[in-house]
Structure 1
Amino acid sequence: MSSYMTATEAAAELGISRATLYAYVSRGLLSSAPATDATAHAPQADSANAAAANARRYDAAEVRRLARRKADGKRAGKVAQKVLDWGVPVLESSITLIAGGRLFYRGQDAVELARHASLEEVAALLWECTPRRVLDAPAAPIAAAQWSAWLKLWSGHSPLERALVLLPAAAAQMPRIWAQGRDAQLDNAAVLMRLLAAALISAAPSGEPLHRQIAHAWGVRSRIQADLLRAALVLCADHELNASTFTVRCITSTGTHLFGAATGGLAALAGPRHGGETVRVAALFEEAAHADDLHRYLAQRLAPDERGVTPALSGFGHPLYPDGDPRARLLLDWLAQRAPARSPMAEVDLLAQAVMETTGARPTLDYALAAIERVLALPRGAAFTLFAAGRVTGWIAHALEQNADGRLIRPRARYVGEHVPA
């Protein structure tokens, strides 16, 4: 049996498309190397792009290990209820569904919601309350002078750094931070959503819809561009059990309050492979804009390193959306319609097309958010701010659901080290 597989063989073993296989490589789940004459045997009937993708080799043992893990995950999902407390990290949830290339918030298509709903309305849907309950929640019990002093002290720091400091500071001022009643939790949830946004954009907390607050802080005067920010916030609201959301649920299961759980989510979001993806996409835009030949640049960018590992290309190929991320599709379509007359929108489209032709991978939400930041000339880090300000609504929904469940999340580890004799 060969120790290597072609792209076609690896994709078949994993039960995925070649585009998803590339996404696995870009996210570090698999490694690939240039094929030798003995391993490059793509069928001649394939197209030029498919042959190029197939002319890479994948370690057969690594592919089979990943296939076994996927099978384990499917089996684990069937017994999640029995093993949650001391089992594998699979949770049951009624908040978000990703299926058939679509995203649903409590049964409603998130892309359709993004066409008209505000983040506050989506928060009400996710938190299972009325929109008026979110809008009419009491203001944060923090003196305006105190908040202003905090903002001034941390004015030179990034939105994330500012939020990581100000949320715990604000929690210390909340008299009902530990309250478990439904009304108190919803009040704290609304305050948390407003304070995080205020910390991210360095502004005073407000009860005004968040997309308007953000548009005002960034000097976005156009109503249709502010509407694009609204849609982006809605599409960032939740995405099932990603790293930050699972972190929030784990922290919540210990019994801590919403502010503590959200601060943990922010810390997880800070990683370059999660919330930091937008920063990497912004860097990709800069490099591509200065390239003399875009296709040559991508060929060099995707060339494997000395270990035979193909570098990740941020912003492309999502394993959960093999046919393309619907969130990115809507935002990029709307951005093209709302772009200023003189903007780098053409560069954004050309880069996406070139990557599609080279790898078959399509843009993700991270790409779309970074494109909004670039095309509308928003402040540096605006893409991350949109992501975090929207995602906190989902974190809160998961924290409320975890509180209602009441159990401690404590997964078991699958030991793969040296065997210890009895």
Structure 2
Amino acid sequence: MRDQESGPGHPERRLSTKEAAELLGVKTDTVYAYVSRGRLSSRRAPGGRGSTFDAQEVEALARRTGRVVGRRPGSGTEPFVRTRLTLIEGDRYYFRGVDAVDLTARHSYEEVAEWLWTGRMRPGATFTAPEASVEAARRVVGALPGHTGPVDRLRVAAVAAGAADPLRFDLSEEAVLATARVLIPTLVAALPARRPSHRDGGSLAGRLWGRLSGRPAGKAQLHVLDTALGLLVDHDLAASTLAVRVAASARAHAYAAVSAGLGVIEGPLHGAAGGLAHRMLLDVLDVGSAGPVIAEELRAGRRVPGLGHPLYPGEDPRARALFALLEELPEAAPALAAARDVVATTARHAPLHANVDLALAVLTASSGMEASAGETIFAVARTAGWIAHALEEYGERPLRMRPSGHYAGPRPPQPLPG
């Protein structure tokens, strides 16, 4: 169905779900995922059968995503960035051509990061930081107010570590890689410890666990956390990654580029989404059923966190991999059941699948972690991907990430304000 053209004397032009999907070049499931993520708004069709969408809003989204039918991404007015790092295709994603889920099942976070950076595998790779870098970061982080959030702490730690590094302006690949192998463990070490951390020579996941949970972790728990870190290393040009590439295009050093990514990641539509899902799961566990909790979310005009992803018509492969590992943890069973209840309850109205935020929420809620832990995991993991994108951008023409503004204000000359 297609309503008449909008304008004087005409109703607003509305599209059916099928028409919206065709215009966007996606499946109908993805259209509903766009709604769940706040990228589209919908309205019930007359008679209550299906949904309709504002044609102008759909067309604007099609231009932003470059998915207009018959147009290759980047062939229109929207910018695109050529990258050799991550491909998302057919409900799967790949790091340098290798299936990311398979890669993280067989290799540690540090090894996955090395693969993304260099295209070479370094078996047994570990990241350690010199005491001077850790001390500089801890000193400034320790001066922050007690209520400071984790991403603020990480951003301040990155700035402090950069200020302590006199070689930070060396943008050669060798120097940037050395920075990355120091910066990531420095960020972890700068976070307040909730229990004695693993020795410095242990895995990054082991050290991070002690910053997130007061409970001891066994091998299985650390494996889930390490896998989550690897799965989250990169995900194409997310908003924070684009910010990193803009900074790198201006030849900001790696610490500053990472700080740019951390500045973007705090939004509820990005890194903080896991915290929203965490709180929702706790509410479901407290109430005993997802129905009342979902109803309250919708009544308040909020989308249900942890569901749907615009890049995956089906289930997020990162969520699928983490759920499989979480099923092996007895303590995760209640939170897993709550997550499945959320998915099943919402599926009665919209065919949305679980995304990685919901899987992270199961991990954090069942491990005695705070709601912000998912955001911390996300930020630490993605730092490796940001470094990879910065390295790519350093090899491109400087300042190429500089779009031209389209001025829409009053035409000059205008009178001086009184």
Q: Which range, TM-score by smaller chain? A: 0.7 to 0.9
Q: 2:116 aligns with which of 110, 119, 126?
A: 126
Whole-angstrom CA distance in 2 between matches of 1:407 and 1:192: 24
TM-score (norm 2): 0.84
TM-score (norm 1): 0.83
SS at 1:302's partner residue?
A: helix
**Number of the residue aligned with 2:272:** 276
Amino acid at match of 2:278: A
Amino acid at match of 1:90: F
Amino acid at match of 2:283: E
CA contact (8 A) 1:248 1:262 kept: yes
SS at 1:405's partner residue?
A: coil
Aligned 1:38-77 pairs, distance under 5 A: 40=48, 42=49, 54=50, 56-71=51-66, 75=71, 77=73
Aligned 1:16-415 pairs, distance under 5 A: 16-37=26-47, 40=48, 42=49, 54=50, 56-71=51-66, 75=71, 77=73, 88-128=78-118, 132=122, 135=125, 139-140=129-130, 142=132, 146-154=136-144, 156=146, 157-200=148-191, 202=193, 206-217=200-211, 218=213, 219-291=215-287, 294-295=290-291, 297-303=293-299, 311-340=302-331, 343-413=334-404, 415=406
Q: 1:204 to 1:116 in 2, by over 3 A?
A: closer
CA contact (8 A) 1:315 1:365 kept: yes
Deviation for aligned residue 1:30 = 1.5
Whole-angstrom CA distance in 2 between matches of 1:92 and 1:13: 24
Whole-angstrom CA distance in 2 between matches of 1:113 and 1:59: 41
Q: 1:114 to 1:355 in 2, by over 3 A?
A: farther
Percent sequence identity over aligned pairs = 32
Amino acid at match of 1:391: R
Q: 1:14 to 1:131 in 2, by over 3 A?
A: closer
Deviation for aligned residue 1:79 = 5.1
Q: Any stretches of 5+ residues in structure 1 without a counterpart?
A: 43-53, 81-86
Q: Any stretches of 5+ residues in structure 2 without a counterpart?
A: 5-12, 414-418
**Number of the residue aligned with 1:51:** none
Whole-angstrom CA distance in 1 between matches of 2:91 and 2:74: 22
SS at 2:152's partner residue?
A: helix
CA contact (8 A) 1:30 1:62 kept: yes
Q: 1:35 to 1:213 in 2, by over 3 A?
A: same
Amino acid at match of 2:53: Y
CA contact (8 A) 2:157 2:190 kept: yes
Whole-angstrom CA distance in 2 between matches of 1:136 and 1:279: 28
1:344-387 CA distance string (max 9 Å, x none): 33222222222233311011111111111012222442211111
Structure 1 stretches of 4+ with a deviation exceeding 6 A read: none
Deviation for aligned residue 1:259 = 0.3
Whole-angstrom CA distance in 2 between matches of 1:279 and 1:31: 23
* RMSD over equivalenced CA pairs, Å: 3.1
Whole-angstrom CA distance in 2 between matches of 1:138 and 1:373: 25
Give the number of aligned pairs: 396
Amino acid at match of 1:169: A
Q: Greater helix percent: which structure?
A: 1
Whole-angstrom CA distance in 2 between matches of 1:286 and 1:221: 21
1:180-221 CA distance string (max 9 Å, x none): 333222211111111122234547993432112123443332
